[in-house]
Structure 1
Amino acid sequence: MSTVHTDIVTPAGKVYEGDVHMVCVRSKDGELGILPNHLPIVAPLEIALVRLKHEDEKIVDYVAVHGGFIQVSRKSITILSEAAELKADIDVARAEKAKAEAEEQLNTLHETSEGYEEAHLKLKRSELRLSTAAIDDSIPEA
């Protein structure tokens, strides 16, 4: 099997760098599975999980990516995001606190209120962190 060099970059620096067999992301238009030698594309990303599958496909790295863009060339994949966290780096207590704060804010705001969209995004990001941290690596992906 062949691989493609993949980087996940935020303003704070590189979150991930390595050669993988497949990158699975959720773009604004839907799920993408990108293999080596994929046609070049640039696509905006959702706040969602990124799965990085290695050659043996039993090893998968999980990264919580908070939107951004993916740029694919035949030789490399780059994900640019405001924030991204490897599964192992997620602070579950901090994510739970952020989720509770966002839910509290949303309960006091109307959909048209100032701050509603920001609270909604905070909730989505914290839920992504928690779901990523909860992934059981011992269960192979289907």
Structure 2
Amino acid sequence: MSTFKLEIVTPERIVLEQEVDIITVKGADGELGIMANHVPMVTPLQVGPMKVKSGKSEQLIAVHGGFVEVRKDKVVVLAESAELPQDIDMERAKASKARAEQRISLAQRSKQDEVDHRRAELSLQRATTRIRVSGK
């Protein structure tokens, strides 16, 4: 199987840079699988786990929005933030999930501002993604 170079970059750092066989990301219109020689494109990413396969190993990475750019020679994920499983603090993720669920519940009962409700939903998605990727 052909491989390609994958770079996952955030405003703070390069999270991952390696040769991979296939990646699966959560794009704007659903899941997207990318292999070597994929047609060049750019698409926005949703909050969700990104699956990276290299040989027989498979890794999940928490990606919190951004874009994926498929080039002729490599794929670049420009993420708002991204975390490897070993970098995730599970207790913090669980606490964040509980806070987001509480904020959503309060917003639904009191018909609060739509912006606050959307922020709470995004926070819940990020926390859920961290918990799933961590696998602990």
TM-score by length of 2: 0.92
Moved over 3 A (4+): none
The 5-angstrom pairing of residues 20-99 of structure 1 reads 20-54=20-54, 56=55, 58-99=56-97
Structure richer in helix, relative to its length? 2
Name the aligned partner's letter for residue 133 of structure 1. Answer: S
Give the distance between the partners of 1:98 and 1:134, measured in 2 at CA: 16
- Counterpart amino acid of 1:85? E
Q: 2:26 & 2:4 partners in 1: Cα distance?
A: 18
Q: What is the aligned partner in structure 2 of residue 131 from structure 1?
A: 132
Deviations 1:53-82 (CA, angstroms, capped at 9, x unpaired): 01x2x2012101011100001210000111
Question: Aligned-residue CA RMSD in angstroms?
Answer: 1.4
Question: What is the match of residue 117 of structure 2?
Answer: 116
Separation (CA, whole Å) in 1 of partners of 2:66 and 2:132:
19
Structure 2: distance between partners of 1:8 and 1:23:
11
Deviation at 1:112, TM superposition (A): 5.2
The reply on whether 1:11 has 2:11 as its aligned counterpart is yes
- The sequence identity of aligned pairs, in percent, is 38
Q: Helix, strand or coil for the counterpart of 2:96?
A: helix
Gaps of 5+ in 1: 136-142
Provide TM-score, normalisation by structure 1: 0.88
Q: Secondary structure at the match of 1:11?
A: coil
SS at match of 1:37: coil
1:16-66 deviations in whole A, cap 9, x for unaligned?
110101111110112111111111010111111111101x2x201210101
Cα displacement (A) at 1:125: 0.4
Aligned length: 133
Unaligned stretches of 5+ residues in structure 2 = none
1:68-98 Cα shifts (integer Å, max 9, x gaps): 1000012100001111101121110010010
